[in-house]
Amino acid sequence: MIEFDKFTRVEGKPCGTVHLFGLSTCIWCRKTKEYLDEKGVEYHYVFVDLLDEEDKANARKCIEKWNADVSYPTIVVNEKKIIVGFDEEEIDKEIDSNER
């Protein structure tokens, strides 16, 4: 289970549980967020660099469970599939396979 509660929810069509960890200064993180917006899916995101120090540390611990490099963007889908980086093909594959 994602053990972090600082996400912002974006409304959209349900396509599984999608969590995006990003940085506000990262172009690939912004592109990933924009892509999810364009797809119209429901997801939760957090810009780790905008958190206070304690929450940043907690976010990094959470990311590390899924992505040992703690790189951005990191997308966790249904707490099973991890997409690291901006990868439209992988995002589409996961969204399409989880669309309700």
CATH number at residue 49: 3.40.30.10
- Domain limits for position 74: 8-86
Residue-by-residue pLDDT tens, the chain, 100 positions: 667 789 999 999 998 999 999 999 999 999 999 999 999 999 999 999 999 999 999 999 999 999 999 999 999 999 999 999 999 999 999 988 887 6
pTM greater than the 0.85 cutoff: yes
Domains of the chain: total:
1
Is the bond preceding 73 in cis, omega lying within 30 degrees of 0? yes
Is residue 92 situated within a structural domain? no
Is residue 43 situated within a structural domain? yes
